[in-house]
Amino acid sequence: MKFTKENIVFLLENVGGSENIEKISHCISRMRFKLVDITKANTEEIKKQKWCKGVLIVGGEYQVVIGTEIESFYKMFLKTTGINENANDELKTKKQKMTFIMFVSSIFSPIMILLVVYGMWEMVRTPFFLSSNSTEIPTLIEINSFMELISKGLSWFIVMAVCWSTFRVMGGTPIIGLAIGAILISPMLTPLSALDLDGGKTIIQAMNEHGWKIFGNAVFPWKVSFEGLVIPMIFVGLLGVFIERGMNKVNLGGARMLIQPMVVIAGTVIVTMFTIAPAGLIITNYMSISFNFLMTHNITKYIFSPLIGMLYAPMVVFGLHRTITPILMQDILKFNGSFIMGLMIISNICLAVGCLTFGRLNKNCKEVKNIAYSNGISAFIAGVTEPAIYSISLKYLFPLIASAIGTYFGCLLYTSAGVWTNAAPFGILGIIGFASTIPQGINVEQWAGGSIVWGTLSVILGISITIFMTIVLSQVKYFKERTNKILFDEYGFTPELKQKSIFKFKGNKNGKIK
């Protein structure tokens, strides 16, 4: 869609003008405003615009859903309004409380594109990776090794970017956060994946082989690399910001530019290696183990996994899906895949199918058909579901319920069959992620045929049930009346009624029509 200057001016005026904007940013599909006075926003008028896929308020943040073309819209907004791109740091008029969900969302929003790129690249690399492990053809082995250069670089930078983003969100100096992140994934340190846990060794016993003997024979602190430790890196960023704030209160005169960055970086790294690193290594490892246990245990997997999949789309509505992101990223960086990723792929595909089916059912209303098809295809192919959710699924409600039911049964089969998903895109192309083998350390019984067969069948089952339930629910009186009212109010569209329902009138005793 081509955006115009009038679109930008309209949005600016209806969020209360530039003086009402405290912060501005964007994620993969939404404009995100922190408004001084949120009541000044004219939400209903914004929703009526064709370029707007929906409006929601999450944790005090005003979000306008644009869709996959958000990048061009955001750049045009900055250029047209004259608002500086560093608005996050400069447009501050008063401090407001930040909720936990908003905090997590703000950290991971700018990083999500890297996770998408990582998934896409791993999809491209998968055939070479599998071939290099099953054959001894030197060319394939070398190509896979070369492609791993990009994979490793992205996985390292994602962790570094978490520290950078935490500094950015908390008002610190982002470049210092990036430097701290780089130090903590130095090749001098040992990642969790490189630990030798054979022979029943615990993590502590294994780490005792990798550490500094500063205090005599005692091995401490450990040489813990933060590669794959996404959640602990958030705490590192917070620590660095608090140290920087403390240094801001110290009168260093002209030496501030030299001394403060050094103290913040060195102080954060030293404190981290003695406290956050060992604690984060142990807690993160066992948190991941607990999560995977719930998804693989013979009893809990039939409850926990399908519910996560079914509730994923509704979680997107409230921004709660960001709480899963750290665990997902951690699994991907550690195992190059995750059980959770497959659940998300099935959920995204089912939601897209529900949206597309709705468009087909209401094909006579061209406006809503075009919206449903464009946003449904975006969700189906790229896994970008927000436009489909806010423009169709949540708005008309029954497509969201139908896709949740389809997702539940798709995820139930996915879990029962013991499917594992390698890093892959979040849409239909994510099926390539089912071409995988379960990594060491993950104990699960897998049905004959493997992940590729049962993962694909899980998607097909979810799609089939979603289509069926969307059609069935569309005939329910409440949903039919709700849909007809919205179509009439917003598009002036009146569904074609059967002849008998148009001319079926009842008369009173005088022959007058009631």
Residue 256 to residues 228, 367, 380, 437, Cα–Cα distance (Å): 34, 59, 52, 53
Cis ω before 221 (30° cut-off from 0):
yes
CA neighbor of 66 nearest in space, from 80, 52, 79: 52
Active-site residue among 27, 52, 163, 411? 27
Distance CA 169, CA 307 (A): 31
Q: Which two tokens stand for residue 198?
A: 């054979």
Residues contacting 385, CB < 8 A, separation 6+: 313, 316, 348, 351, 352, 379
27 annotated active-site: yes
Q: Which residue has the tokens 């994946």?
A: 193
Distance CA 261, CA 238 (A): 15
CA angle (375 as vertex; 370, 380 as ends), nearest 5: 125
- The radius of gyration of the chain from alpha carbons, rounded to an integer in Å, stands at 26
* Beta-strand relationship, 30-35 and 61-65: antiparallel
Q: In what order do the strands lie in the sheet with 21-26?
A: 21-26, 30-35, 61-65, 54-58
HSE-CB of 4 using CA atoms within 13 angstroms: 5
Q: Which two tokens stand for residue 262?
A: 């050094």
Question: Helix, strand or coil for residue 111?
Answer: helix
Distance CA 465, CA 78 (A): 44
Q: Which residue has the tokens 């497509």?
A: 399
Question: Helix, strand or coil for residue 27?
Answer: coil
CA angle (358 as vertex; 352, 364 as ends), nearest 5: 135
Distance CA 81, CA 464 (A): 46
CA neighbor of 102 nearest in space, from 34, 171, 157: 34
Q: Which amino acid is at 461?
A: L
Residues contacting 84, CB < 8 A, separation 6+: 78, 90, 91
CA neighbor of 104 nearest in space, from 255, 388, 327, 296: 327
Distance CA 379, CA 386 (A): 8
Q: DSSP secondary-structure letter at 26?
A: E
Active site residues: 27
